[in-house]
Amino acid sequence: MPVDPMPIPSDLHYTLAPGAQVPQWAAMWEHLSTAFGETLSAFARLGPGDMLLVWVAVLLTLLCILVARLSRGLSRFTGRQLHLTTSLADTALAAGCLQREMNERQLRAYVDVAAVSFQRFAPGQEIIVQVELRNHGLTPALNLIAQVTLAFLPFPAPDLPVLEAPSPDLLPSVLAARESRAVLQGVSIQSTPGTAERLLTGELGLYVLGKLTYADVFGREHVTTVSMVASGERLKGRQPFVRCEAGNQSS
């Protein structure tokens, strides 16, 4: 049976235009019905195996679409989870490092000069000063080298001398936690007459300059510098030495 050709676009526009004739709508419907019928006939001519292949193809297509949608959603979810996990790991690592540093600060050794006093003050002969070192920390101070120097300088001194390198005779030692150790240092005043008198009048000051180097049990090196002075009426007191404004630092 002959089939009428599909209307060209201009004819279709004319068919859909307001006031189009009813027979043209009937012709379009007839074309659609014919195409649908031919499709059903084609499916009817397929064997069971061919129909199975068609349904498998349809199901695979739907499955691919579903997997693609799930993959995009899973990829976004995985990306968010990875970013969140990385952020949490970085935060935990920073918190762990901070906690470890705080623990080390609480446990490490802290060596400083606890007190300075006269062991001997003989005008015209010599002065011997006792420097008391103390470890205020909870763990030992390792490889401790205590360098102490006495100097007569104008009081107040505009500048403090820089300590030279420690003598090779100074051997490193260990200072246990909460323990103290006395270091004696002497200076002769015989070569300069009147030094003791100038100290008592406050013209000169007896300066104690110290540098303490040590390591804590965590393997970190530390340095403590000390500068103290005694002059004038303080020489007669029980605590003649006071810290200077400069030269006292610790790490």
Q: Which two tokens stand for residue 244?
A: 């200077």
Q: Which two tokens stand for residue 229?
A: 């002075």
DSSP-assigned letters across all residues of 197-243:
HHHHHTSEEEEEEEEEEEE-TTS-EEEEEEEEEE-GGGGGSSS--EE
pLDDT at 163: 77
Least confident of 15-29, 56-70, 159-173: 15-29
Please tell me which of 12-21, 99-108, 187-196 the model is most confident about, judged by mean pLDDT: 99-108
pLDDT at 196: 81
* 155 vs 205: CA distance, rounded Å: 5
Q: Does domain 111-250 have CATH number 2.60.40.10?
A: yes
Cβ(207)–Cβ(228) below 8 Å = yes
Cβ(179)–Cβ(79) below 8 Å = no
Percent over 70 (pLDDT), the chain: 69
* pLDDT at residue 53 tops 90: no
pLDDT at 160: 85
pLDDT range class, residue 48, cuts 50, 70, 90:
low
**Type and span of the H or E element at 49:** helix 48-107
* pLDDT at residue 239 tops 60: yes
Cβ(128)–Cβ(184) below 8 Å = yes
Mean pLDDT, rounded, for 149-164: 85
Question: At which residue do the structure tokens 């899973």 appear?
Answer: 74
**pLDDT tens digit sequence for 87-101:** 777 777 777 787 888
What is the overall mean pLDDT for the chain? 78
The backbone torsions φ and ψ at residue 212, rounded to the nearest 5 degrees and listed phi first, read -115, 120
Q: Which residues, other chains included, contact 14 with Cβ-Cβ below 8 Å and sequence gap of 6+?
A: 20, 24
pLDDT at 77: 67
pLDDT at 74: 66
Structural domain boundaries in the chain = 9-45, 111-250
DSSP-assigned letters across all residues of 97-140:
HHHHHHHHHHHS--EEEEEEEEEEEETTTEEEEEEEEEE-SSSP
Mean pLDDT, rounded, for 215-229: 93
* pLDDT at residue 13 tops 90: no
Higher pLDDT, 208 or 3: 208
* 167 vs 221: CA distance, rounded Å: 19
Handedness of CA 51, 53, 55, 57 (dihedral sign): negative
Q: Which two tokens stand for residue 179?
A: 């323990």
The three-class DSSP label of residue 173 is strand
Q: Which two tokens stand for residue 6?
A: 């599909």
Please tell me which of 58-62, 66-70, 119-123, 235-239 the model is most confident about, judged by mean pLDDT: 235-239
**What predicted TM-score, i.e. pTM, was given to this entire model?**
0.61
* Helices 9-16, 22-45: inter-axial angle, 10-degree rounding: 120
pLDDT at 126: 79
Mean pLDDT, rounded, for 211-234: 92
